[in-house]
Structure 1
């Protein structure tokens, strides 16, 4: 980078010669003006000085109060993540997606078709368990993990979940690093400093970026099956710490070096900077446990095909559903699976579900989110719905959703 120096141009001063009498007159007038100024201005100068002293005193009192209450303020620019990174970096790994090259020249050999990151969240003996993103390992014939010491080991995919975009891997070895310490993502505050550790672009391994928590509880609509229709609203941590391709599945850590999120995605749009998202570790843990144990996530279901009421025309709402005008949101039942909880409870096509357990169900995404996050398999729920304009209530026991 070129640096330039700018020197101020010298200004020409013009001196006028005056007689001694002129100098005396000027001096006398200046002295009189000085006395007048001091007489009128001095009280205000004293008052300003007193104000400055009061401000200093107030600042001093504030610091004392903060210290007494164990309140710590952090200047993000001066945060030193060295200890935090050293504590966690060995538990971060590279994850390589290997697929067979079935072209004529490839002869079915494995080749790397994608890469990302992962984090060792648990270690038992010579086995370690890694969490990464589902989209990092999706479609892989084999998965390979790269450790900090440059060792590469084969990984077994224990399970993956596209909805939450999480996957769990298992590796074996004698010199596997320790697991990351897990933090509490529910305790995050806006403006809290955070850092990411990962392998952006697949070759800049163990890169660190720093930023803040922009929003600890952001809801982002997700199109899981890429049909241009949203299937889910992901609860994520928004951060301005750089998350680039290859960072997916890597660690988002706090200043204590604790894992508080799994980096998942960013908004890649012209003119957009510093908008990345991570899956909160508290939300990820139940999914991770299911994938590690069963290879899939067990979720409750009602057994209905449905559509958001907002997608139904007003004419159809009045003619076929016969809804009162006050009903503005809900979920329309399009079909009922045989022997499902909904069928056993007596729900029918064209019923409009408006709430469950007193919680308003605005649309299909809200219904799915309620079932997956607010209830569990075997739980009995109360469903409010409208049938031909008449409000009804029924109870049903939720069953396990078959994969």
Structure 2
């Protein structure tokens, strides 16, 4: 450590010496050419700004102007618990909303206005942008702040719909057919990176890949399965979530949702952002507008990935054979739902659905959600170490559940 410090001092001294030498040499030159320098100075003309030689408006600028007025900042407001509430609320069991603490900004994201209907305007954003909010505000591109009402959310696709008064709304965005998007096409990401202080920022890139499959997780880290997304190298930063990815016609081709900052081994990466394709977005927001929720078949189980259970618990509590390395552990079952009706109980481990192996809860959902309410599925599971199968009818939906699937 001492050697390093000494080295830094030497380097700094050498640099200072060089700068001093340069200054001295410059001084000698100046004095030896004093008359010439003065003469040159008298002929100096002022610098001026020249005409901008860029003629016309670029395609990117046209696209930005076409849609930027429909892009908003979404502000998630949450109640901050007072110290007294935090100390005594849990003891008394008082969970009422009577706490006098003001609502404060918990997080910010982006959104895009896609529809006006009479006096109501509709905005699509990400579910994780508005999750756990006590109130929501949106900041329009002209600086107007409005109170928004939550119409519906879908954790599975990470989408949410808000509505606001349309009195101040001047522009709405159009959706393009995302199935026509091609790798290499130019796109713009518009939103509020790092929050509303940088509202309506735009970055440019290309579609890096279409129909990319990425792992999605909920806020607890449990797998939600594979999400099919558009990949882009347009810069996407915290706060861009929920904002639009648009083509050079100014049409929305996706809703920015996530980025990959590093690989599993910790290698830093750049230019890997992902957007929910507009075709998926349109399908979900139409149903959210209509029902406020998405109807999907439910087994009626709370579950955890087997990979999150220690090896000792897999053996001592679940009594699993060593050959079982993947699956979903049933933590609890909902009465009168398909799993309970089929005989599944706590600590059973589901390993297959319709004969297809499921290593985690995401893969289970992927298979399950391909079915409709009313279909039947065959479950393969382990109960007290023994493999069993049962066919259950999917007669319930996820919308009637809180945390179960």
Q: Is the 8 A contact 1:381 1:398 kept in 2?
A: no
Relative to 1, partners in 2 of residues 1:304 and 1:155: Cα closer, same or farther, differing over 3 Å?
A: closer
SS at match of 1:366: helix
Relative to 1, partners in 2 of residues 1:389 and 1:95: Cα closer, same or farther, differing over 3 Å?
A: closer
What is the 5 A alignment of 1:23-102?
80-99=59-78
Is 1:377 the equivalent of 2:367? no
SS at match of 1:118: strand
What is the 5 A alignment of 1:114-133?
114-133=107-126
Computed over aligned residues only, the root mean square deviation of the Cα atoms, in angstroms, reads 3.5
Which residue in the other structure is 1:203 paired with? 197
Q: TM-score, normalised by structure 1?
A: 0.67
Of 209, 213, 218, which aligns to 1:215?
209
Q: Distance in 1 between matches of 2:334 and 2:173?
A: 44
Q: Is the 8 A contact 1:126 1:176 kept in 2?
A: no
SS at match of 2:198: coil
Q: Distance in 2 between matches of 1:277 and 1:223?
A: 14
Which residue in the other structure is 1:302 paired with? 299
Q: Is the 8 A contact 2:74 2:108 kept in 1?
A: yes
Relative to 1, partners in 2 of residues 1:162 and 1:356: Cα closer, same or farther, differing over 3 Å?
A: closer
1:234-263 Cα deviation digits (max 9, x unpaired): 333221101122212110112332212111
SS at match of 2:59: coil
Q: Distance in 2 between matches of 1:208 and 1:109?
A: 33
Of 252, 275, 289, which aligns to 1:259?
252
Q: CA deviation at 1:303?
A: 2.3
Of 119, 124, 139, which aligns to 1:146?
139
Q: CA deviation at 1:229?
A: 4.9
Q: Distance in 2 between matches of 1:139 and 1:307?
A: 22
Gapped runs of 5+ residues in structure 1?
A: 1-77
For the pair shown, the structure with the greater C-alpha radius of gyration is: 1
Relative to 1, partners in 2 of residues 1:391 and 1:159: Cα closer, same or farther, differing over 3 Å?
A: closer
What is the 5 A alignment of 1:2-401?
80-99=59-78, 108-201=101-194, 202-226=196-220, 229-268=222-261, 271-306=268-303, 308=305, 313=311, 316=315, 320-321=319-320, 329-331=326-328, 333=330, 336-347=333-344, 353-372=350-369, 374-384=370-380, 392=389, 394-401=391-398
SS at match of 1:203: helix
Gapped runs of 5+ residues in structure 2?
A: 1-56, 84-99
Relative to 1, partners in 2 of residues 1:390 and 1:173: Cα closer, same or farther, differing over 3 Å?
A: closer
